[in-house]
Structure 1
Amino acid sequence: MKINLKTGIDELIFGMTQKNVMAVYGEPDRQYKDDENNIIYLYNDKRIRVTFYEDEDMRMGYLICSHPDLELFGNRIIGRPTAQVQEEITEKGIKSWEVETFDSVDNVFNESNWLILQSEFEKIIRVEVGATINDNDEFDWKFKAR
C-alpha cells in the first residue's frame, strides 16, 4: 500500500464519495458516524479507516492506516523507528515537523502534506494522511469523477 502525499493511499483518492470507495474496496467491515456527523468506514484487511466529511458533501478527506505493507517513498514504515523514517522523509525534502506527545504516543506532523506519523515506544504504529487545503482555503480534492 503506497501513500501518495496530498492525494491518498493506493487507489483511494481524496474527494471520492462513499460509492467510489466501495467500488474499489467493497462494503466496509464496519461503518459509523463520529461526533461531527462524518461517516467512517473501517476495512479490517486493509487496516484502514476512511473518513467522509459531512460538511464537504461526504467526500473522503482523511485516512488512517496501520497496514504492515504501508509505504512512503518506496520504504515500509509501520513498525520502524520514527527517527529513521523521519530522516528518510526529510531527505525527500519534507523538513518541517511538529511533535506532540499524548501519554505513550508521539505524533510527528507535517502540515504542508497533512501527514502524521504516530508512534509508541519509538516505533511507528499508524499513519494519518489528510486532504490538503489550497490557496483559496478550500480542500484540494484530487479525485475527478469518471
Structure 2
Amino acid sequence: MKINLKNGIDKLLFGMKQKDVTAIYGKPDRNYKDEDDNVIFAYNSLKIRLTFYKEEEFKLGYMVASSSDLELSGNKIIGRNINDVKKELTQKGLTKFTQEEFDTFENYFNEDNWIILQTEFDEVVKFEIGAIINDKDEFDWKFGKK
C-alpha cells in the first residue's frame, strides 16, 4: 500500500466519506465512535484505522496503519530500523522530525506532511497520516478535486 504524502494511503484520499471508502474496501471489520463522536473504521486485513471527523461532515481526516505492505517514497517502513528509514527519507527530502518519547515508544513527527512514524525498540511499528491544514486554517481535502 503506497503512502501518498498529503493525500492519503493507497486508494484512500482525505475528504472521502464513509460510503466512498466502503465502495472500495467493503464493510469495515469494526465501526465505532470515539470520545469526540468521530466515526472510526478498522480494516483488519489492511491493518488500517480510519477516522472520519464529525466536525467536518464525517470526512476522512486521519489514518493509522501498521501493514508490512506500507511503502513511503518507494521503501517499506514497518518492521524496519528507524535510522535506516529516516536515512532513506532524508534522501527524498523529508528531513525535519520532532521526536517524542513515552514508555518504550518513540514518535517521529513531520509537520510538513503531517505524518508520524511510531517506533518501539528502534523499529517502526505504526504509521500515522493526517489531512493537511492550509494557510486559511482549513483542511485541504483531496477527494473530489480535479
TM-score when normalising by structure 2: 0.98
Structure 1 residue ranges without an equivalent (≥5): none
Aligned to 1:88: 88
TM superposition outliers: structure 1 runs of 4+ over 2 Å = none
The superposition leaves residues 85-111 of structure 1 with CA deviations (integer Å, 9 ceiling, x where unpaired) of: 011111111111100011000000000
The superposition leaves residues 59-116 of structure 1 with CA deviations (integer Å, 9 ceiling, x where unpaired) of: 0000000001100011100000011101111111111110001100000000010010
Aligned to 1:100: 100
Structure 2 residue ranges without an equivalent (≥5): none
Aligned to 1:136: 136
Alignment of 1:25-104 (within 5 A): 25-104=25-104
Number of equivalences: 146
Cα distance between partner residues in 1 of 2:72 and 2:51 = 21
Cα distance between partner residues in 2 of 1:135 and 1:52 = 22
- What secondary structure, in the 3-state scheme, does the structure 1 residue paired with 2:112 have? helix
Q: Taking every aligned residue pair, what percent have the same amino acid on both sides?
A: 55
